Amino acid sequence: MSREILATPNKTSQRTEHPSGSFLLRIWSEPREAEGEAPRVRVFLRNLKTGEESYLGDLDQLGDTVLRQFQGPDELP
């Protein structure tokens, strides 16, 4: 996990770490087999630093998947 260190504007020269990352994100839709049903949205996510890849069947899973890149799975709400 990449961490960016930013200097704080106070006189004590303390530094604060902020997690950051770069991801490749592909989103596409796939038609359903049953006629008249809405297409399914599919998601591919790759962490460009670690190479970890995830295929998601629902766009709603994207936020939790990205958060797991910065936290352990036990730390998610």
Q: What is the pLDDT of residues 8-63, one digit of tens each?
A: 555 555 556 677 889 999 999 998 888 888 888 999 999 998 899 999 998 899 99
In a domain, 77, yes or no: no
d(Cα 2, Cα 68) in Å, to the nearest integer?
A: 14
| Count of domains for the chain | 1
Structure tokens at 13: 């020269």
In a domain, 76, yes or no: no
In a domain, 15, yes or no: yes
The answer to whether residue 5 scores a pLDDT higher than 90 is no
Give the domain extent around 59.
Answer: 2-31+39-71
pTM score of the predicted model? 0.62
In a domain, 19, yes or no: yes
SS3 assignment for the chain: CEEEEEECCCCCCCEEEEEECCEEEEEEEECCCCCCCCCEEEEEEEECCCCCEEEECCHHHHHHHHHHHHCCHHHCC
In a domain, 23, yes or no: yes
CB 67 within 8 A of CB 50: no
